[in-house]
Amino acid sequence: MGPRAHRAVRRRPQARRRLGLLRRSTHRSTLAFREPVSVNAASLAVCPADLRRSVVDEANEVTGLLGNSPSREALDDVSPITWITTHAPPVLIVHGTDDQIVEFAQGTALQDALRDANVPVAFREIANARHEWADTPPSMDSDSDLNFGTMTADFFDRVL
């Protein structure tokens, strides 16, 4: 959580019980599993979870993070799926089946790992959706149930 968010929570101590994290396609969003838990729920769209399964080449972000030949230990250390404990907050995972950047299996693997740790998890599979799906504003005639913001608000209403 950033400094501005910390200040806002300090000004409103009652907000600590209702603090949720909303992120898409970012490794940093899964720090809710690694850092001392300061959020009470997380909503994640198309997030990488297991970098150990990545093809490491010059075009891959893992290479930029760890170099051309990362060790197994380094890949374990940066893979959010290895950080999950029973203390993780409830999580909503949303992933498109046609994601070309973060494969759909990353979302299901994260779901499985959270369930194995007895962490409350909800998973929404978005049929035929590509990676940029969660960034696309809904059109007036689209189904609001497929809007990432709407899904997150509904999830936070249930768990916070």
Q: What's the per-residue H, E or C state across 3-66?
A: HHHHHHHHHCHHHHHHCEEEEECCHHHHHHHCCCCCCCEEEEECCCCCHHHCCCCCCCHHHHHH
Token code pair at residue 130: 């590509």
Quote the CA–CA distance of 30 and 111 in Å, as a whole number. Answer: 12
pLDDT at 122 over 90: yes
- CA geometry: angle at 28 spanning 15 and 129, to 5°? 100
pLDDT at 147 over 80: yes
Question: SS3 of 139, please?
Answer: coil
Domain ranges of the chain: 18-159
Topology annotation, domain 18-159: Rossmann fold (3.40.50)
**pLDDT (tens digit per residue) in 44-75:** 998 888 888 776 666 666 666 777 778 888 88
The DSSP call for residue 98 is T
Quote the CA–CA distance of 24 and 41 in Å, as a whole number. Answer: 14
**pLDDT (tens digit per residue) in 75-106:** 888 888 998 999 889 999 999 999 988 889 99
CB 124 within 8 A of CB 93: yes
What type of residue sits at position 21?
Answer: L
Quote the CA–CA distance of 55 and 51 in Å, as a whole number. Answer: 9
